[in-house]
Amino acid sequence: MDFSYDARTLELRERLLAFMDEYVHPAEAVLEEQLADPAREHWDIPPVVAELQAHARRLGLWNLFLPGEGGAGLTNLQYAPLAEITGRSPHLAPAALNCAAPDTGNMELLAQFADADQRKQWLEPLLNAEIRSAFAMTEPEVASSDASNIATRIERDGDEYVVNGRKWYITGAMNPACKIFIVMGKTDPAAEPHRQQSMILVPRDTPGVTVRRGMRVFGYDDADHGGHAEITFEDVRVPAGNLIGEEGSGFAIAQARLGPGRIHHCMRAIGIAERALELMCRRTLERVAFGRPLAEQGVVQDWIAESRVRIEQARLLVLKTAWLMDTVGNRGAHTEIQAIKIATPLTVEWILDKAVQAYGAAGVSQDTPLAQLWAGNRTLRLADGPDEVHKRSLARRELKRHREVGR
Amino acid sequence: MDFSYDARTLELRERLLAFMDEYVHPAEAVLEEQLADPAREHWDIPPVVAELQAHARRLGLWNLFLPGEGGAGLTNLQYAPLAEITGRSPHLAPAALNCAAPDTGNMELLAQFADADQRKQWLEPLLNAEIRSAFAMTEPEVASSDASNIATRIERDGDEYVVNGRKWYITGAMNPACKIFIVMGKTDPAAEPHRQQSMILVPRDTPGVTVRRGMRVFGYDDADHGGHAEITFEDVRVPAGNLIGEEGSGFAIAQARLGPGRIHHCMRAIGIAERALELMCRRTLERVAFGRPLAEQGVVQDWIAESRVRIEQARLLVLKTAWLMDTVGNRGAHTEIQAIKIATPLTVEWILDKAVQAYGAAGVSQDTPLAQLWAGNRTLRLADGPDEVHKRSLARRELKRHREVGR
Amino acid sequence: MDFSYDARTLELRERLLAFMDEYVHPAEAVLEEQLADPAREHWDIPPVVAELQAHARRLGLWNLFLPGEGGAGLTNLQYAPLAEITGRSPHLAPAALNCAAPDTGNMELLAQFADADQRKQWLEPLLNAEIRSAFAMTEPEVASSDASNIATRIERDGDEYVVNGRKWYITGAMNPACKIFIVMGKTDPAAEPHRQQSMILVPRDTPGVTVRRGMRVFGYDDADHGGHAEITFEDVRVPAGNLIGEEGSGFAIAQARLGPGRIHHCMRAIGIAERALELMCRRTLERVAFGRPLAEQGVVQDWIAESRVRIEQARLLVLKTAWLMDTVGNRGAHTEIQAIKIATPLTVEWILDKAVQAYGAAGVSQDTPLAQLWAGNRTLRLADGPDEVHKRSLARRELKRHREVGR
Amino acid sequence: MDFSYDARTLELRERLLAFMDEYVHPAEAVLEEQLADPAREHWDIPPVVAELQAHARRLGLWNLFLPGEGGAGLTNLQYAPLAEITGRSPHLAPAALNCAAPDTGNMELLAQFADADQRKQWLEPLLNAEIRSAFAMTEPEVASSDASNIATRIERDGDEYVVNGRKWYITGAMNPACKIFIVMGKTDPAAEPHRQQSMILVPRDTPGVTVRRGMRVFGYDDADHGGHAEITFEDVRVPAGNLIGEEGSGFAIAQARLGPGRIHHCMRAIGIAERALELMCRRTLERVAFGRPLAEQGVVQDWIAESRVRIEQARLLVLKTAWLMDTVGNRGAHTEIQAIKIATPLTVEWILDKAVQAYGAAGVSQDTPLAQLWAGNRTLRLADGPDEVHKRSLARRELKRHREVGR
């Protein structure tokens, strides 16, 4: 057992930290300005992102998330600490490195399951950040954490598939540069529960696709990274070759997509927590009430200590999960992948809440990043299925183990 | 001891509930439409509010909050259950009844501390809902929960006072109909800590007053009720007669304003919690996952039971506090006024969080009221001083009692 | 609505507080000595209790819990604040007033459901504290919170009933003065679920009754009030006239017994919490660490404030429940009776935990009452069915209400 | 980074697990019997322990905790997973392996700081389990988590030191085989705060030493491992050569003793949590209420999932701390050593609480190990200083880091 980062990770961390200091953090104020510009097209990605991407690419900090040839070839365990660092500036750093969700998951999915034509048409421009993509799974009408509820239909009609359905909270899809949607739907509602679904590529400009509105997250529309769209698909026809993998493989592909995404989300969330703790420390060192800095109040010290203790535990669990995925695969890491989904957002939420409280009114305002980070993190407790579903599943596996031992 | 409402309260509750059903709840969709109208002036109050006000006035549901002559003459204990009911539609009902913060607190303050001229000029139009008002206390640069930190200056210069300072989160002040600001500042920084402050009336259109921007609350600008302004006062001159009470009385007036406001806020918050619990029940009865309604999941039932248990406790404490204020006055109710400020928002936050979770993505969206209610309620944990300050003060009083007994 | 105690309550409170100061608190050290006496019969009630009883009786502080003729004739709402006071010395005061569980519940049960002969034989000596009683419901083999699980059999055989079964945690039954057991068992396992059970009077010295051992509660055997016995009933024959009420009425009687018992338990628990808070304040005012009294540490102040806020809420809910029971009966108070069972022990546990922490090692020792109070209170979360069962039931009723409204 | 155990650890784990299955778990019932034997000397260690020790020694499972020559030569990281396994039977396994507190800490201390004579006289018989030892630091009169409060005096008088003071909660000292006490006291109250204290060896039979009584932990006297004594030292004279190290080194020695002890305590506590989770699973799989096993209740599944998620996080943090101690030393692991002290007992307490609840009355009784394990674990939140002291210290270090960065 060894808790030190390997040489490649250390080298990349150093390079990335320098990039953060030199380019990303200074760009945060620029982003604010560009977002506030009344002349801007609301859903366009602000131009500062492309500038950062050019620097990152030049510095070899590009597609670090992608394990195979097209990417940096890092293991999950090597990439995880880098994802954490990008979490310290989550509205800029992931996009700057072409490592932002949902494109990362989509690129992995295409690299793993798409055929050569599909990869050429969509993966290559994504790896070059020429276009953006979206992953259309969640539906407003049903509890889509239970995949058997999915109502969108994908029906074969000659050389084409016809897609009908309504999706929402499709992250990134308000951005007009988001050119391709990976849509989950049912090709065979009569099949066994986990063979009913398929995934299909639907270009944005296909007739019948309507991007209806941007969904909000606690008042935020997240226009800086393409928002969260409600989209309807009405008799949308795409060539049969747009199906990813074979009919009925949608559920399996979705599962495969989840593992690395969890690591990324959780490590970024830990980066957010570190940023929040840092802000909390700085604020309370400076702010004076009742004759002394807030940092000298016992309750504030309690928050700071708890934050540190919780962050350390959460980070180790995510790193171990990454290591398990690298060594025994997604299946072997199943419990841990669920565990980090349950534990990390709650930990980060707790810390953000205390940081907000330390800032008072500024904490809920647009003048600190805390409230928006809180809102984004809050959604992790229900994205990909609410925590309660994952706990139920984890508990059943634990019980099964004891039931078997008990025999 | 008697836990039943008196006859007047019961009669008013009935009348108000009928008003809610007939006018307010149907108007919620109208409000949404009016807010979404691209032609609207962003910070104006939507016209549906004035329509509701006409009905409320006609039905005798007007200025119920105000204890004295100008108002309905209710005790705090009589008004509290009515405030709870308005909390079920917090963006419409309080305003419809002319019972919305911060006007309620300002009207009470004027009724109690203003002279006849001030009352004629500002209280009368407020009681008639012809204008709106704001209370300018919080400052961005200092921990203003400690009144001795307030940096705004109010300096006598001949027949005038000159005001200089920066305020923010001045609720309602983005609304152009908000014509008068009650500003807290220091007239004598050399006096003893609680005699340094004074309050003064500053009309919105006074030269030197600049309403700079709307502050956000977790992404919301709360434009439906006048937002939360940042305002600078630069060499703002008002007649000496605009001072409320005498120099040095600002702290005492602020304290007096707090008590009833806490009751109102807390009872409305309890109304919000009841609404959230109702929504949670309805949603989980309808939504099916893994073969049965969410309402049959043990964890969901646990949320519902906990919500009911917590609401009942919180409501009783607020009602008792109202009773204490009526019977022994604000001073005698000091501990309880702090206790409800500490207990109620946390209780309501917990319930809203679970309701959001029960709704999944819809819970954080603009399609349910939950996320916005959550954000508004979250600010109560730091408004009028963070909970931590109130706990410290409450604990010291508890300790003092035991120290005296111990002798 | 009126939150003041009525005249009779105030008068009795005063008298009881004087009794506590003059007799009970001074007797606490005597109790410790008597319990430590190596010559004592382990399960006998220490003699100081009988001495206190004599004083209490003389002062008219006797059988206050009993609403009807035999008792003081107080309502639940009048008795509740007195029960709270006895909670401040829970190992002496309830017994001193002949108001200790389980005798209180048993006396109520006999007063309400027993026939004249039964009352003469058992109720009268109980009201005079000449004997003690036990209530034998819980069984080790089954989840007896679900009454349909009860395995003890009560079978008619001629003029007798034959009882067979195993009970445990039968509080008070280790005390040899505990002469009568009220035993719950099934007379008709084939009847509908809530008509299967009956209750029967079994004298301690009946052949076939074996009191096997004292069950522990976190290491305590609670010998000062008769412990908690495991008892087996093997072909125990009692006259048919020992049945309480009619066959099949056991479940209904058990339900009727619960309501007032909950009020008593919860109010005593609140008295315990007040005692713990007082101890916490005294200790932290005296104890110095790192240069100042613990009471000046922010975290300790947070505990104290939270304790006060939580106690106030819990007490009000219990008092309202008592009022509901008095005005609309046990059925109308069903939700509240469950709510106080869920809320109160957790509140008191939290406060005791913090008091223990404030005392350090002394807090877990035999030198303060805190650890033993903690252990006793902990059992309330599972006595009469674990909280989880009550929450489930409460939630279902809440959901039912919304389902009906929703139609 | 590598999360797998090394070969030696794996081999020892396997051997130890076999030993647990073959010898330790079967001995648990024997221990119960021996403890219940009315003929036994109350404070003697039950004979089953010596039998297990013989087996362990034969199997090479002996003194595994000790890093240097006298011991097994394991690193902290290698020993930690073994300590966890012993936690599954905490009343037998640690003692069986001669790895039980407080002897482990005392042996480490002697190995590191004692001179050759002292080691020969006391360390050798301890390593052979011929005698037991105690560590006398905590005092009843003062907050001894603040070492500057220690009141015991160690005064030089010619060739002797004279010890005066009162200690309590001296674990193991009720056992007559506990022959040697390491006593912390002040040699120079006028020195700077951390140079006032010294440690000295005081044989049990020295005149002036009085072992007064066994302190309780929530009703338990822990007689199976020597209890927790209150001891007075009245003009106790020992040779000057009994001082450990030099005068004034007591605080530094105490600090050095803490690190490994924390690892041991925390890993054993995690073993306890695993045992509790296992018991909770087994119980809820078997126990039926309301028509199905408790294990199918959503709330129970939530407990199980949370338990697993929390255990995984806590274990990783303890293991990382062990690794840090091995690689950068106690000082470099300071934050983590505090963090595990704060996090682990609370995690384990939460799980034990849920396991108790799943068992109902049996959970608080002597028929499951849960209540006693809960009580023992509860003391970890205040042993070696209450958590609050450690949080305060940890927070200050965190703040210091940010203050320096902020410059």
Residues whose CB is less than 8 angstroms from the CB of residue C105 and which lie 6 or more positions away in sequence, other chains included: C135, C257, C260, C261
Residue A99 per-residue DSSP state: -
Which of B232, B247, B262 is the C-terminal boundary of a domain?
Answer: B247
CB of D375 within 8 Å of a chain C CB? The answer is yes
Average pLDDT of span D55-82:
93
In 3D, which of A305, A310, A281, A304 has the Cα closest to residue A293? A281
**Chain A hits for B364, Cβ within 8 Å:** 216-218, 375, 378-379, 382
Round to whole Å and give the CA distance between B339 and B335. Answer: 6
Residues whose CB is less than 8 angstroms from the CB of residue C72 and which lie 6 or more positions away in sequence, other chains included: C62, C63, C64, C65, C66, C79
Q: What is the DSSP string of A220-242?
A: B--GGGT-EEEEEEEEEEEEGGG
Q: Is residue A25 part of a domain?
A: yes
Q: Which of C168, C218, C370, C380 has the most D C-beta neighbours within 10 Å, making it the best mutation to test the interface with D?
A: C218
Q: Which of B228, B365, B373, B389 has the most A C-beta neighbours within 10 Å, making it the best mutation to test the interface with A?
A: B365
pLDDT band at D407 (very low <50, low <70, confident <90, very high): very low
Cβ within 8 Å, pair B215-A361: yes
pLDDT band at A81 (very low <50, low <70, confident <90, very high): very high
**What is the least distance, in Å, from the CA of A358 to any CA of chain C?**
15
Round to whole Å and give the CA distance between C346 and C382. Answer: 11
Q: Are residues A169 and A199 in the same domain?
A: yes
Q: Are residues D49 and D152 in the same domain?
A: no
Q: Are residues D208 and D346 in the same domain?
A: no
Q: Is residue B2 part of a domain?
A: no
Taking all residues of chain C, what is their mean pLDDT, rounded to a whole number? 96
**Chain B hits for D292, Cβ within 8 Å:** none
Number of domains in chain D: 3
**What is the least distance, in Å, from the CA of D31 to any CA of chain A?**
24
- Asked whether the bond before D102 is cis by omega within 30 degrees of 0, the reply is yes
Give residue-wise pLDDT tens across range B132-148.
Answer: 999 999 999 988 878 88
Q: Are residues A20 and A71 in the same domain?
A: yes
Residue A218 belongs to domain spanning:
132-247
One-letter amino acid identity for C67?
P
Average pLDDT of span D187-202:
96
Strand (E) or helix (H) holding B251: helix B250-286
Burial class (CB in 10 A: 0-12, 13-18, 19+), B60: exposed
**Which residues is D96 bridged to in the sheet?**
none
Q: Is residue B1 part of a domain?
A: no
Q: Over chain D, what HEC string results?
A: CECCCCHHHHHHHHHHHHHHHHHHHHHHHHHHHHHHCCCCCCCCCCHHHHHHHHHHHHCCCCCCCCCCCCCCCCCHHHHHHHHHHHHCCCCCHHHHCCCCCCHHHHHHHHHHHCCHHHHHHHHHHHHCCCCEEEEECCCCCCCCCCHHHCCCEEEEECCEEEEEEEEEEEECCCCCCEEEEEEEEECCCCCCHHHCEEEEEEECCCCCEEEEEECCECCECCHHHCCEEEEEEEEEEEEHHHEECCCCCHHHHHHHHHHHHHHHHHHHHHHHHHHHHHHHHHHHHHCEECCEEHHHCHHHHHHHHHHHHHHHHHHHHHHHHHHHHHHHHHHHCHHHHHHHHHHHHHHHHHHHHHHHHHHCHHHHCCCCCHHHHHHHHHHCCCCCCCHHHHHHHHHHHHHHHHHHHHC
Question: Domain of C295: which CATH number?
Answer: 1.20.140.10
Q: Is residue D1 part of a domain?
A: no
Round to whole Å and give the CA distance between D283 and C343. Answer: 26
Q: Is residue D354 part of a domain?
A: yes
CB of A313 within 8 Å of a chain C CB? The answer is no
Token readout for A172 is 């990134």
Measured CA distances, B24 to B94, C402, D355 (Å): 10, 20, 49
Q: Are residues A54 and A142 in the same domain?
A: no
Give residue-wise pLDDT tens across range D5-15.
Answer: 999 999 999 99
Residue of A nearest to C298 (CA): A298
Q: Over D236-271, what HEC string results?
A: EEEEHHHEECCCCCHHHHHHHHHHHHHHHHHHHHHH
pTM of the model: 0.97
D27-39 burial: b if 16+ Cβ within 10 Å, else e = beeebbebeeeee
* pLDDT at site D146: 82
3-class state of residue B293 by DSSP: strand
Q: Over chain C, what HEC string results?
A: CECCCCHHHHHHHHHHHHHHHHHHHHHHHHHHHHHHCCCCCCCCCCHHHHHHHHHHHHCCCCCCCCCCCCCCCCCHHHHHHHHHHHHCCCCCHHHHCCCCCCHHHHHHHHHHHCCHHHHHHHHHHHHCCCCEEEEECCCCCCCCCCHHHCCCEEEEECCEEEEEEEEEEEECCCCCCEEEEEEEEECCCCCCHHHCEEEEEEECCCCCEEEEEECCECCECCHHHCCEEEEEEEEEEEEHHHEECCCCCHHHHHHHHHHHHHHHHHHHHHHHHHHHHHHHHHHHHHCEECCEEHHHCHHHHHHHHHHHHHHHHHHHHHHHHHHHHHHHHHHHCHHHHHHHHHHHHHHHHHHHHHHHHHHCHHHHCCCCCHHHHHHHHHHCCCCCCCHHHHHHHHHHHHHHHHHHHHC
- Asked whether the bond before C102 is cis by omega within 30 degrees of 0, the reply is yes
Give residue-wise pLDDT tens across range C373-403.
Answer: 999 999 999 998 999 999 999 999 999 998 8
Which of D206, D224, D247 is the C-terminal boundary of a domain?
Answer: D247
Rg (CA), chain D: 22
CB of C381 within 8 Å of a chain D CB? The answer is yes
One-letter amino acid identity for C161?
Y
Token readout for C230 is 């495991």
Q: Is residue C121 part of a domain?
A: no
**What is the least distance, in Å, from the CA of C208 to any CA of chain B?**
42
Q: Is residue B37 part of a domain?
A: yes
Question: Domain of D70: which CATH number?
Answer: 1.10.540.10
Question: Domain of C231: which CATH number?
Answer: 2.40.110.10
Give residue-wise pLDDT tens across range D223-261.
Answer: 999 999 999 999 999 999 999 999 999 999 998 888 889
Residue B22 per-residue DSSP state: I
Round to whole Å and give the CA distance between B401 and B160. Answer: 46
Cβ within 8 Å, pair A313-D314: yes
- Cβ(A366)–Cβ(B215) below 8 Å: yes
CA dihedral C93, C99, C102, C107 (to 10 degrees): 160
Strand (E) or helix (H) holding A313: helix A298-332
Q: Is residue C2 part of a domain?
A: no
* pLDDT at site A171: 97
One-letter amino acid identity for C51?
E
Give residue-wise pLDDT tens across range C20-42.
Answer: 999 999 999 999 999 999 999 99
Q: Are residues A255 and A385 in the same domain?
A: yes
Q: Which of A282, A324, A396 sits opposite D301 (nearest CB)?
A: A396
Q: Are residues A255 and A243 in the same domain?
A: no
Q: Are residues A121 and A52 in the same domain?
A: yes
Residue of D nearest to C373 (CA): D218
Average pLDDT of span D133-146:
91
Q: Is the pLDDT of residue C208 over 50?
A: yes
**What is the least distance, in Å, from the CA of B361 to any CA of chain A?**
7
Token readout for B280 is 């949670």
Q: Is the pLDDT of residue A118 over 90?
A: yes
One-letter amino acid identity for A333?
A
Residues 340-359 of C with CB under 8 A from A: none
Average pLDDT of span C140-147:
86
Cβ within 8 Å, pair B302-D297: no
Cβ within 8 Å, pair C146-D289: yes
In 3D, which of B380, B109, B99 has the Cα closest to residue B254? B109
- Cβ(B202)–Cβ(B170) below 8 Å: no
Q: Is the pLDDT of residue B407 over 50?
A: no
Which of A86, A110, A126 is the C-terminal boundary of a domain?
Answer: A126
Residue A211 per-residue DSSP state: E
CB of A302 within 8 Å of a chain C CB? The answer is yes
**What are the φ and ψ backbone dihedral angles of A163, each rounded to 5 degrees?**
-110, 130
What is the distance of C-alpha A252 from the center of its chain? Answer: 19
Token readout for A348 is 């980060």
**What is the least distance, in Å, from the CA of A146 to any CA of chain B?**
6
Token readout for A213 is 């509105």
- Asked whether the bond before A102 is cis by omega within 30 degrees of 0, the reply is yes
Q: Which of D3, D303, D327 sits opposite A320 (nearest CB)?
A: D3
The lowest-confidence range among A332-346, B47-61, C68-82 is C68-82
Cβ within 8 Å, pair B406-C285: yes
- Cβ(C279)–Cβ(C370) below 8 Å: yes
Q: Are residues D198 and D300 in the same domain?
A: no
Average pLDDT of span D11-29:
98
Q: Is the pLDDT of residue D404 over 90?
A: no
Token readout for A240 is 């049969």
Q: Which of B4, B277, B284 sits opposite C1 (nearest CB)?
A: B4
CB of A289 within 8 Å of a chain C CB? The answer is no
ipTM of the shown complex: 0.96
Give residue-wise pLDDT tens across range B185-224.
Answer: 999 999 999 999 999 999 999 999 999 999 999 999 999 9
**Which residues is C134 bridged to in the sheet?**
C181
- Asked whether the bond before B102 is cis by omega within 30 degrees of 0, the reply is yes
Give residue-wise pLDDT tens across range B97-138.
Answer: 999 999 999 999 999 999 999 999 999 999 999 999 999 999
Q: Are residues A57 and A143 in the same domain?
A: no
* pLDDT at site D405: 66
**What is the least distance, in Å, from the CA of A75 to any CA of chain D?**
11
Q: Are residues A211 and A65 in the same domain?
A: no
**What is the least distance, in Å, from the CA of C347 to any CA of chain A?**
21
In 3D, which of A208, A212, A186, A209 has the Cα closest to residue A197? A186
CB of C169 within 8 Å of a chain D CB? The answer is yes
Q: Are residues D307 and D229 in the same domain?
A: no
